[in-house]
A and B are shown apart, each in its own frame.
Chain A
Amino acid sequence: MEELIAKIAEILEEENLDIAKKINDYEGWDSLAGLSIIAMLDSDYHKVMKTKDILAFSSIEEFCKSVLS
């Protein structure tokens, strides 16, 4: 999970992510960050997810668990 968290942190331009927070709680979140995450999920994890789906998770941790499940 750490690798995925690091990739999300890089996209959000955050050094330390609190994975209990929602992804869009961070200032670095915007539609383009969302698209970067979608592209990363597709290329690195072969997962297809819409921005809306990503925002539906209650925390970054829950999102990561779902991606890695």
Chain B
Amino acid sequence: MNFNMISKEKIKHIAQLAKLYLTSEEEEKLQKEISSILDYIEQLSQVDTTNVEPASQFLSEIFDSQESVLTREDKIKRQDTDVVDNLFKMAPETKGKSFKVKPIFGENRGKE
């Protein structure tokens, strides 16, 4: 029995959030696997992290403030037109210079 047994409802809910279609066998398999992974991760609670800064901080330490490219001027740079064309070629459906999407409102709206 897993300490962090996660419910089937919770799995369904997360899959809904992540927009993943899962069969009920897949839900069951993931329920077991995720529960045992969360059990393994439980050991992190043994570590005292009082007054410890989260790691996103040390980026600034390793970058030279003078040479940093972390910020740039807020200016639009034109892409090569062939890159733009290539990007559109990869799209499943386009209309002119736009990506085409399914209707979001109306009677066609699927019920999940």
Q: State whether these chains interact.
A: no
Q: Which residues of A contact B (CB under 8 A)?
A: none
